[in-house]
Each structure stands twice: as structure tokens, then as C-alpha cells.
Structure 1
């Protein structure tokens, strides 16, 4: 057991101090964003919105994310990642607190749009900062550490969120969300001042290639958009499925979602370390992750046994653990060809587009076709995602780039 524990700790060695600080800031911020997994339940339970209205609110969420990611990338390339991160975090905290006072459909749509616009300016800036503070050979593990922070926060967040709903009602979530964003801002300003922090991979490209002309990157973005659409069902339609079909309480839903984060916290870093030492390319590993995520929906239709929810969550978790770190690393490596903010903005926009269509499409499909047919459709989309990644693998091989990607 001691050897196993030491081997686990060794997977974290070699990462810079700044990457650890980024992970802690992300942990504080992520633990606070506990409104998001409960948003669909809040809108249907507290505000009595229809599934159709919830779908459109989620689309506003996605549109805000697209604009915020694009703007964050542009600002990162002009004023720098540090200023973008500080201003985004602080303003997000204030907006989250104000969101609870909106209660009409139009006001909620506008409010969610503005919150996500400001919040997602943070993401491309954070990826560029992460790339700057990571040695080239450590980038995948640095991304994995950030994901561990996200999922540790996410494992605690929903469980704590369920307790807050029971004791303080939904409004308590908005206060906690806002305060944690502000706390994360204060920590960021204390520990990551660019005048003191040490960069380890400061890429300077005299003739940057535009991300918009990178064909391989566009194939990659298409696959990630499809992957995002199916993955995001776990944060909109899936909580409703847990409640309506399997009669789980908010606390049980929070614990089940939290289990996903706990699995990732324990297993992801050793898994990534092991996969990095295999002969498999990033594109092949992303393909495997897409198949496993597709399977997580298919198994739900095999039986009405409540335990199948754990099986589905396990498939999705392993798929996510493989797909996300290697897709992040692929994007950061590709970004060296051009303006890093532009590349990382497009990468985050692919998931923002998934937010626009994924939540809404999921809600509409459930409303018109039921949960079982929706899960079959998500399975097919997962196979399409894997096919796109296979095309990417072939394209890179033809261009003699696969050894690096």
C-alpha cells in the first residue's frame, strides 16, 4: 500500500509551483460554481419553468460562453492572461450574487448570458497561463492537475450544494458561488503576479499561423463540439432523469455527481501517467474516450435497475478522464503554431457551442421523444465523434504529424 501511495505521489512530481497555485485557484472557483449542476432543477422546481423554457435558458448559457471565450482569447493576446483572469473572476462573483434576484424567463436568459460571457473569458486566459507555467513535457499532466482541482471541487460542490438547498434554499447557492469567485480572485492576485511568477515555456512565434486556417484543428474542434453535446447531458437532462425516472432526491443526485469527481481525483493522474508512456497517440486516446462516453448512455436503456446509474457514471467518468486531458494537451501543443489566445479561445468555444445546442436539444428530445430515445441518439452522436477523431488521426498521419499529436 505504501508503494502504491508513493507511486501515486510520483505522478505529480516535476510540476511548477505556479501550476499548483493555478490548481488551487481553480479548486476554490470550481467548488463554488455549484449552481450549474442544479440549474435545470432550480428553473423547473423554484421558478416553475417548462422543459422548453429551460432548454432556451441553457442556450443563452451557451451563447454567453461562446462570446466570452472568443472575447477572452482576443483580450489574452492583447492585454495578457493575468489581467483577463483577475477581471473575469471578480466580475463573475458579483454577477452570480445578483443572478438570484431575477425570476422572469427573459431576465433569466439575459442574466445567464452575461454571467457566462464574463465567466468564460477566464478559460482561454487560464489555458495560456497554464501553458506558460508548464514545461513542454509536463503539459498533459499539468492539464490533468487542473482537472483534478476542477473535479475535487465538483465532487465537493454538488454534495455541499444539495445540503445548501435543503437548509438555505436555492438562493444560498448563488451567494456561495459569488463569494468563492471573489475569494479566488484575491488568491490569484496574491500568488500569480506576472512580475514575480516564473514562466517555463514562453512561446514567441514571429510568424504565427492563424488557427482559422489549420484544417486539422477544425476537424478536432468539430469532434470536441459533438463530444461536448453528449457530455453536457450529465449536467442538464441527466439530473432530471435521476429525479423523474429513478426518484432520487437532490442530495442523492449531488452525491452521484460528486462520485464522478471523486473517481477522477483518485484515478485520473495515475491513468494519464500510464497512458502517456504507451505508444498510443493523443487522437487515438480521445477516440477511446468518446466510445466509453457513448456507452454510458447506451447502458441506461438496458435495465430499470437503479444501480445502472452507477455503471453509466463509471463509463462516462473513464471516458472523460481519457478524452479531456489529451484534448487539452492536443490544443495547447497545436497553439504553438500561432496566437495562443486565438487557438485556446476556439478550443473553449467548441464546448460553448455544445452548451448552446446540447442542453436545449437534450431538453427538447426528452420532451418529445422521452429519455430512452434521447439516450440512443446520444450514443449515435458519440460514435460520430469517434469517427471524426479517426479522420483526424488519418489526416495527421498523412501530414506526418501524428507522432507529435
Structure 2
């Protein structure tokens, strides 16, 4: 295991570390957005649901092209532009006061996430030998949950349900992440590739859909994942509103639920894999 860890590319380590702190920053702010909208700004539960869901709606369409665009113009450009924009999005979250502004900002949040995340995963694939990709992807997933263990608790301490301060913290974290990526990209420029890792022409979206539709295993898994995510989406919209409006300590218990969720993933992820 030590030999495998030593062989991981520095760019991959940067992404893993950035994932920890990025998810920590995001989970101290975004999960509380619906509570913030309903209790502080007085937005109706229905409109709050619309505002929260627009991020995923935009992400559905943008995610199809995130990796494709990075194949065409390079990982470096897509990641740096999207993460710089992401930092500005969190600044806008902290400054916004109107419901329509939150709708637009959260749509941009989904766009930035859907460009940055697929591209960062593609970069991990670029700099990692094929036999070690399972390890590196599991490390990235563990990094996500390490961040989510601490993030909601920090958000509770900072008053995420009633103040925009955590959004500014998230903006600072992503700005720093972007600076570190800029330094690492300059240092390891020779290891970056424009286009696919095999040197072949980038796969077109129509070809990708055609290939996926013919796979008898992948398509049922894909459809099942859609329904699973639909159910899980309640943790970002309906559940926090219900808990905060129904119980005096609802926000606190919602925080504990998020942390417990991430801790369970960390506990069972590697044994199951």
C-alpha cells in the first residue's frame, strides 16, 4: 500500500486534498440553503425547492459536456476557469438578498460543479496508471466524505441557516484550491494531455449515447441511479425544511444526520470494495 501511495501523481494528490476541503466548504453552506431561504428570507417552500433543484437541472445538461469539452480544449483551462467562477458564485451567494438572485446563482453553481467535477476525474485518469485507478477513485470518494463529516458541523457553528458567512468561507477555499491547481499545472505541464489519454480522437456525445444504450447492464444501472438520486435529493431540499420547521432543534439534528451519513460511508466503503 505504501508503494502505491508513493506512486500517486502530485496532481492527483492535489485533487484529493482539494476535494476534502472543497466538500467541507460546500457542505457547510449548500445543504443549509433551503433553511436559509425559508427562515431568513421568507421564501415559500415551493419556491425554495425550485431554487435548490435548479442546480441539479443545469448540472444534468452541463455534465454531459464537461468531460467532452476538456477533451477538446484541455483539462487545465476547464478546471481553472470553472473553479475561479465557482469561487465567485459563493461570493454571490453571500451577498444575494432576493429569491430570483439565488435561483440564478444556484444555476451557475450547478454549471461550475458539472464542468469541474468530470474534468477533475478525467485528469485523475490521465495521470494514474490503469491498474491504480480503482484505488485513486476510491480515495477521491473517501475524500468527499471526510469533508462532509466536518463540513456540516462547521456550518452549524458558523450559523449557516441564518448568515451568509459560510458562503464566503467556501469562496476562499475554492479560490485557494484554484491557486494550488495553477501552481501544480505549471509544475507538471508536461504530464498534461489535450484530448484523450490514448491519443485517439475524443468520443462524440452521440456515439457515447449510442454505446451506452446498447449496454444491457449499464442502462438499468443508470436508470436505477436516477431514481435513487431523486430520493436522495430530499436531503438537500424537503428534509431540512421539514426538520427546521417542525422541531426546535431541527437544524442541529439535520446537521448530525449529514455527518452520520458521511461517517457510515467512510466506515463501510473500503470493506465493501
Q: In which range does the TM-score fall when normalised by the shorter chain?
A: 0.7 to 0.9
Match of 1:211 in 2: 208
Take 2:185 and 2:138, find their aligned partners in 1: how far apart are those partners?
20
Unaligned residue ranges in structure 2 (runs of 5+): none
Shift of 1:248: 3.2
- Cα RMSD over matched residues? 2.7
Instruction: Select which of 45, 50, 53 maps to 2:39.
Output: 45
In structure 1, what is the Cα distance between the partners aligned to 2:178 and 2:267?
A: 27
- The residue that corresponds to 1:268 in the other structure is 269
Distance verdict in 2 for CA 1:198–1:97, change over 3 Å: closer
The alignment's TM-score, normalised by the length of structure 1, stands at 0.58
Equivalence for 1:181: 174
Residue 16 (structure 1) aligns with: 8
In 1, distance between residues paired with 2:111 and 2:201?
Answer: 31
Confirm or deny: 8 A CA contact 1:90 1:185 kept in the other structure: yes
Contact 1:99 1:111 in 2 (8 A): yes
The question of whether the paired residues in 2 share the 8 Å contact of 1:64 and 1:112 is answered with: no
1:202 maps to 2:197: yes
Give the distance between the partners of 2:244 and 2:16, measured in 1 at CA. Answer: 33
> Per-residue deviation at 1:29?
1.3
User: Whole-Å Cα distance in 2 between the matches of residues 213 and 173 of structure 1?
Assistant: 43
Superposition deviation, residue 61 in structure 1: 1.6
Equivalent residue pairs, number: 262
Q: Is the 8 A contact 2:75 2:119 kept in 1?
A: yes
Q: Which residue of 18, 21, 25 maps to 1:25? A: 18
Q: Hey, what's the Cα distance between the residues in 1 that align with 2:184 and 2:153?
A: 29
Indicate if the aligned counterparts of 2:35 and 2:244 stay in contact, CA closer than 8 A: no
Q: CA deviation at 1:107?
A: 2.1
* Alpha carbons 2:72, 2:202 under 8 Å: kept: no
Match of 2:133 in 1: 139
Distance in 2 (CA, whole Å) between partners of 1:12 and 1:267 is: 21
State whether residues 40 and 162 of structure 2, in contact with CA within 8 Å, keep that contact through their aligned partners in structure 1: no
CA distance in 1, matches of 2:79, 2:29: 21
Residue range with higher mean Cα deviation, 144-153 or 245-254 = 245-254
- Structure number with the bigger relative contact order (C-alpha 8 A, sep ≥ 6) is 2
SS of the residue aligned with 2:43?
A: coil
Cα deviation per residue 1:268-288 (whole Å; 9 max; x = unaligned)? 22431xxxxxxxxxxxxxxxx
Distance 1:208 1:196, change over 3 A: closer
TM-score under structure 2 normalisation? 0.84
Aligned to 1:151: 145
Equivalent residue number for residue 232 of structure 2: 231
Assess if the C-alpha contact under 8 Å between 2:91 and 2:167 holds in 1. yes
Deviation at 1:127, TM superposition (A): 1.6
Distance 1:258-1:225 versus aligned 2 partners, 3 A rule:
same
